[in-house]
Amino acid sequence: MLGLRAECVVEHYAGCPPSPVYIGVRRFATRTLFAGVSGNRRPQAVRQIDMALKPIILTILMFGVSRGLGVTSEPSENSQASANELVRKIVANEIKAETEDHSHWAFQLQTEKGGRRELEEVVETKDGNLQRPVCVNGQPLTAKQKEEANLHIQKLVHNPGALRRSLRDESEDTTRSQNMLKLMPHAFNFSYEEKDSGDLVKLKFTPNPRFRPPSREALVFHAMEGEITVNDRQQRLAEILGHLIHEVKFGGGLLGHLDKGGLFHVGQEQVSPGFWELTVLNVQMKGKVLFFKTIGVRQKIIRSGFRRVSDDLPLAQAAEILRESAMTATDSCK
């Protein structure tokens, strides 16, 4: 369902190992709480998230606004059953849509991590995603950095092994994200909060005390509470806002931990009729998690400017699209 994989951007080109593609969140859920974040289509599948950290985050999550059903601090059993049933239908449709969607896109990726802000152009292909840095901390790339980026991209075009490895990693996270989404109706109790005059419905979620987490990911998942917003008409997740209500330890703390109060925000939007993509992933958690490959515990990602590209786009052509788009994208540096 959300790791924008922009962990080693410009530096990558100067000698970072070739894992240029962000391995992470392609679609909400499946690219979310965990998933999700930027790009590679899961081996014909997910993006984002992870979910979603998109992993947990990518699904952790998953995917308000307004007025309508009114706040019910103590929903009736029928109301709770109705809300849980709605989420069950939304989750089933979300996974179905993810599985059937094999579209590819070009878009802008903004990341904030460790005090560093980066803007990149990304093009998805069936062989993996190519991405090119545009600016760092509001400054356009230097001539040397541009040359290094060009050389790095050409190396990937002629030897796409790193792209394929990132696809495998994303495939694993996608599977985790989808499994997490399937747990959602069981891991939480849902109640209606608000409904606007349109298609959006906001629901509150709290841990279901009867649920027993079957995995480390589920342990984190179940330690959250917050709100989700769904599009009732299209049966899609639109937004998830959650926070950890207590500390989570893995292996007694040896494998990692996440502190109480950590925040998670993931959102997806319809970018073209029938196509939804991850647009926001903001994870602000304190701790350390060792079992996710494509997402950190403190990062913010924004994906925008989606343009659909051919599903059979060759890497060489994707590289040319990147080159052309990067020439005009420098206007966005600030």
**pLDDT at position 48 over 50:** no
pLDDT the model gives residue 293: 47
238's tokens: 């639109």
> Which stretch, 15-19, 22-26, 58-62, 269-273, has highest mean pLDDT?
269-273
Report which of residues 333 and 46 the model is more confident about: 333
**45 confidence band (pLDDT: 50, 70, 90):** very low
Q: How far apart are CA 297 and CA 309, in angstroms?
A: 31
Separation of alpha carbons 139 and 152, rounded Å = 20
299 falls in which pLDDT band (50, 70, 90)? confident
Indicate if the pLDDT at residue 8 is higher than 80. Answer: no
Express each pLDDT in 109-128 by its tens digit.
999 988 899 999 999 999 88
Top-ranked range on mean pLDDT: pick from 68-72, 131-135, 292-296: 131-135
Distance CA 59, CA 182 (A): 10
Range of the domain at 62: 10-329
Strands, sheet with 224-231, edge to edge from the N-terminal-most edge strand? 139-140, 128-136, 116-125, 104-113, 298-309, 275-284, 263-272, 236-244, 224-231, 200-207, 188-195
What confidence tens digit (pLDDT) does each residue in 284-295 have?
888 776 655 444
In this structure, is residue 195 part of a structural domain?
A: yes
What is the predicted pLDDT for the residue at 273?
A: 93
Domain count, the chain: 1
DSSP H helical segments within 188-294, as ranges? 216-221
- Could you tell me if 38 and 60 are in contact, meaning their C-beta atoms sit under 8 angstroms apart? no
CA 278 to chain centre: 6
H/E stretch holding 325: helix 315-329
Residues pairing with 256 in the sheet: 250, 289
User: Per residue in 173-201, pLDDT tens?
Assistant: 777 778 888 889 999 999 998 766 688 99
pLDDT at residue number 18: 31
Q: Which residues pair with 231 in a beta bridge?
A: 200, 236
The tally of CA atoms less than 13 A away on the side-chain side of residue 301 is 49
Task: Examine the pLDDT at 230 and tell me if it is beyond 90.
Answer: yes
Check pLDDT > 60 for residue 217. yes
In a domain, 319, yes or no: yes
pLDDT score of 258: 84
Q: What is the pLDDT of residue 244?
A: 93
Q: What's the whole-number average pLDDT of the chain?
A: 75
Domain membership of residue 2 (yes or no) is no
Residue 46: pLDDT band by 50, 70, 90 thresholds? Answer: very low
**Per-residue model confidence (pLDDT) at position 289:** 64
**Residue holding tokens 């990911």?**
217
Q: State the pLDDT at residue 196.
A: 64
The DSSP code sequence of 106-120 is EEEEEEEETTEEEEE
User: Does residue 240 form part of some domain?
Assistant: yes
Which pLDDT does position 81 carry in this prediction?
59
| Mean local confidence (pLDDT), 141-166 | 89
∠247-211-48 over CA atoms, to 5°?
70
CB 229 within 8 Å of CB 216: no
Alpha helices in 14-105 (DSSP H): 77-100
Domain-located, residue 192: yes
Residue 112 to residues 7, 36, 59, 292, 328, Cα–Cα distance (Å): 10, 15, 20, 19, 22
- CA nearest to 266, candidates 329, 177, 187, 190: 177
pLDDT grade, residue 221 (50/70/90)? confident
Residue 322: inside a domain: yes
In a domain, 1, yes or no: no
Q: What is the pLDDT of residues 240-286, one digit of tens each?
A: 999 999 988 877 777 778 889 989 899 999 999 999 999 999 988 88
Please state, in angstroms and rounded to a whole number, the distance separating the CA atoms of residues 144 and 150.
10
- On whether the CB atoms of residues 49 and 35 are closer than 8 A, the answer is yes
Separation between Cα atoms, residue 64 and residue 58, nearest integer Å: 19
pLDDT band at 223 (very low <50, low <70, confident <90, very high): very high
Q: Is 173 domain-assigned?
A: yes
Residue 230 and residue 235: Cα distance in Å, rounded? 7
Percent of the chain having pLDDT more than 70? 72
